[in-house]
Structure 1
């Protein structure tokens, strides 16, 4: 898989990847109906399209020419030294193949002025927590509103970069 920038022609495939990955990851935590509600909102074509034109951001895909294996979206905060990794998802059939690490490395390289990479992760998502810890992230706090509009609690992790 190679990492590249997303384009509008990718959005249907990105949505399909996110819906499948979210159900595989979160159905046991939130239930099928709640996951469907979240993916219909957060991962709609309109929501994904808005990310393509967001200033100071990177929307990346892991692609082998036949299918998408993963995606990442990160954006600088009001403080350009802090970047928020909003999304990093790898299709369940592609996990543990270095795709998440490749996406993460490209996110870090995309923000050379940044010193901190921050993310929010569901506390019950132990696989993601282990991945982030193995890639140098440390817990720094909690939020009661993951993503700023979900009402879902999450852990906050940070990594020093640059």
Structure 2
């Protein structure tokens, strides 16, 4: 049985999902350096202390995680929902997302950035009520990243 609970994310999940998702759009060196920096031991300790971190676990093995950053009053950022490719399509991402959303007060607005080429994730978020707000361009290690900012308005 898979469950979503607070816990430490898996570097393996981050690396595997990044490679699987972006292998055709982001160069390997950029992916490797991003994951190494974003999921270093120091970064993870800081995230676990300050964020709402959820892991999806079965038999003590992490299959996915979600990272929510509390923002200024009434807002939060969904920084990540990562699910191993072999565990995708089983409702795990939805369970992580729903569990995380419930950890914030009613009326919270959620924002996220997703790579424009990641159409699967954009469809996932759109089906759950997020709407695109604007496109952003960032340069990381000389590679242009084209993100779509998406927003989930509070339910009325």
- What's the TM-score once normalised by structure 1's chain length? 0.86
Corresponding residue of 2:25: 29
Contact 1:2 1:62 in 2 (8 A): yes
Contact 1:137 1:159 in 2 (8 A): yes
Corresponding residue of 1:62: 56
Poorly superposed stretches of 4+, deviation over 6 Å: none
Larger RCO (CA within 8 A; separation ≥ 6): 2
Corresponding residue of 1:136: 129
**Deviations along 1:2-34, whole A, 9 cap, x unmatched?**
01101xxx45xx111101111111121112111
Q: Where do 5+ consecutive residues of structure 2 fail to align? A: none
Quick check: 110-119 or 83-92, which moved more? 110-119
CA distance in structure 2 between the partners assigned to 1:84 and 1:134 by the alignment:
18
Contact 1:139 1:158 in 2 (8 A): yes
Q: Which has the higher helix share?
A: 1
Quick check: 119-128 or 34-43, which moved more? 34-43
Indicate whether 1:159 and 2:152 are aligned: yes
Structure 2 counterpart of 1:87, from 68, 80, 98 = 80
What is the number of residues matched between the two proteins? 152
CA distance in structure 1 between the partners assigned to 2:39 and 2:23 by the alignment:
16
Secondary structure of the 2:81 match is strand
Secondary structure of the 2:145 match is coil
Contact 1:19 1:43 in 2 (8 A): no
Q: Which has the higher strand share?
A: 2
CA distance in structure 2 between the partners assigned to 1:161 and 1:62 by the alignment:
25
CA distance in structure 1 between the partners assigned to 2:16 and 2:107 by the alignment:
32
Secondary structure of the 2:59 match is coil
Contact 2:3 2:56 in 1 (8 A): yes
Contact 1:83 1:114 in 2 (8 A): no
Q: Where do 5+ consecutive residues of structure 1 fail to align? A: none
> Cα distance, 1:143 vs. partner?
2.2
Secondary structure of the 1:145 match is strand
